[in-house]
Each structure stands twice: as structure tokens, then as C-alpha cells.
A = this chain, B = another copy of it.
Amino acid sequence: MMETNNQISTEKYAADISSIGDAQVRINSFVHKTPVLTSESLNAMSRRKLFFKCECFQKGGAFKFRGACNAIFSLDGDQAAKGVVTHSSGNHAAALSLAAKLRGIPAYVVIPKNAPKCKIENVKRYGGQIIWSEPTVQSRESVATKVLQETGAALIHPYNDGRIISGQGTISLEILEQAPQIDTIIVPISGGGLISGVALAAKSINPSIRVLAAEPRGANDAAQSKAAGEIVRLPETNTIADGLRAFLGSLTWPIVRDFVDDVIVVEDKEILEAMKLCYEILKVAIEPSGAIGLAAVLCDSFQKNPRWKDCSNIAIILSGGNVDLGVLWDSFGR
């Protein structure tokens, strides 16, 4: 059952419109207000009006800076002085490093050895201290715990954290100002931090807005979780969208369960095709995870679903642009 507007509160969920509004005030002077781009060619292809919210232009190259900034500037002085630690596929790590640098505190970042090179370089560029782990969730979390114990730093989880969710939710506040006509928002889903914030803010302001998740077939835990009515963790994931391999968390799951209208599952080849359209038509450099919203709006399971027939003005969050040019090229399979 969908919650009604006045039931959205932090008593039940990890964030609400008030914590998202506070986040906006807190991070406003640090974040870019990213532009919304439109393209008549892509409108024609999708038979809708599309509004691309370009979070790939955000500082650090992804929306993650919003949540990281909100979390870091929420810390009290004593806590902050000991620094922060996280495990991340990369964009959150870079974002946290940058936000920590702005506050003048250390950021310890646990990164799997197989993370994309450009994401690792972003962490280094922003002054984060890298600690390597094996490329499994278990290894990442145990290494992070060790660092935590040694430094006394505050753990800033990439998505299962109310401060992070609130920071990401500021995107909705901007979209609704920049493109007030939208009736639908399509959001990449991984751990669920982004879509949780976006859905809470959008539905609080206008409960009739549809919020749709876009997820790769090879990491479709959100679709499976929605179908099962409980969190499903997959034994393994297999997708080109390296930023979308995480599973829903205890704080994001209730929000996804109650406020995400549907999960659109797309194939990797559809993601690659959408990436190519981003480069060639929008002129936006995007990573695979960032292009999945465009893949979703173009795919048959969206286009042919009568439930979404009246989605006319659709915001698509282009979530990040951190891609190795070499990997990109291989993806296009010349």
C-alpha cells in the first residue's frame, strides 16, 4: 500500500522532506546546481518529453557529493576531527574525500582492487587515503571495520545512512524547480540511497509523481526484493554498470518498498546503447550506471507497459560520468 503524504516522516523512514530541506541549506554553497538538458531527438525516440538532470556534472563527477557533503557537515567538531571512513565502488569514495577536504578532515577509503582506474584517481585527486580490499562486499566491510577501530573515524556508509539519503534528495528539490511540469522521475537503483532521497522529496511535494527505478538485469536485487516483499541479496552480480552492483540496505528498503512505483530492468546492451546516445546526441560523457535511466525509458518493458502510458514529462537522472575512456571504447565493441 502506498503511503500518503502526511505519513512520510523520520519516525518511520531514515529521512523526510524536513531533513532533505535541511540538507539543501547545509550543502548549498558547496554543490553545483546541475543543469537540466533536453533533446528533441531523444524526445522523438522515447515519445515523451525528457528532462535530463545532469548529476555527472556534479563535483566529483556524480550525485554522491550531495550525500557525502551533507553527512560530513552534519558531524560535530570532535567526531569530525577523527575523520571519516567508507567502503565504496568509487564515486562515493571520491565524493567523501572531496567533502572531507573541504572540511579539512581525513577521509579513509576502502576500495576494491578492481575498481575503475578513473574512480581511484578521483579519490587520490581529492586527497582521500586509500586502503585496498578484495572485490567482495564482505572484504570491503571487514577492512572498513578495522580502519574504523584503529582511527576512531566515523563510518559514512555509501547509502544506508539518513544523512546520505537526505543529501541525495536535494536533487528532487532542484528538478521540481527547474522542470516543474514533470510527472515521472526515473532513477538508477543500486543500494537505494539516491532513489530513496529522490522519492521521499518528490512524493512529499507532489504525491502524484511516479518514481521508477532503473536496474540492470545482472544485478536486479531491487526488482526481486519488490516482488518478494523483502530484501533479496543476490549470490553474485554481472553487469557493465559497475556502480549498480550494491544491494538494498535496511534503511533504503522500506523507502523503496513504499515509494518506488516500479523497477524497470534493462539489459547491458541497452545500457551501452543509451550511453552511446548520451555521448552522440546529448554530448554528455557518462558512465554505464549513469545512462541506465535513458535505457529504461527506451526499453520495451517501459514503452509497452500501459501503466506508464501517461508518463509524459519524465525527469531522468544522469547519475555519474566517471568512466575510463579505454573501458568505454571496449564497451562500444568496435
Contacts and interface: CB of A to CB of B under 8 A. Distances in A.
Interface of A: 32, 35, 37-38, 40-41, 54, 56-57, 59, 61, 118, 125, 276, 278-286, 321, 325-326, 329, 332, 334
A326 to B, nearest CB: 6
Contacts of A329: 325, 329, 334
Nearest to A276: B325
Contacts of A286: 283
Contacts of A37: 32, 35, 57
Contact of A57 (B280, B283, B326): B283
Given A280-B285, A283-B284, A325-B332, 10 more contacts: A32-B37, A32-B38, A41-B125, A118-B280, A276-B325, A278-B285, A284-B284, A284-B285, A285-B285, A329-B329
Contacts of A284: 283-285
Contacts of A38: 32
B35 A35 contact: yes
Contacts of A276: 325
Give the copy number.
2
Contacts of A281: 61
Most B Cβ at <10 Å: residue of A32, A125, A283, A285: A283
B57 A321 contact: no
B282 A57 contact: yes
Contact of A283 (B41, B56, B332): B56
5 contacts: A35-B37, A40-B59, A118-B280, A276-B325, A283-B286
A283 B282 CA distance: 11
Most B Cβ at <10 Å: residue of A32, A56, A282: A282
Nearest to A329: B329
Nearest to A55: B283
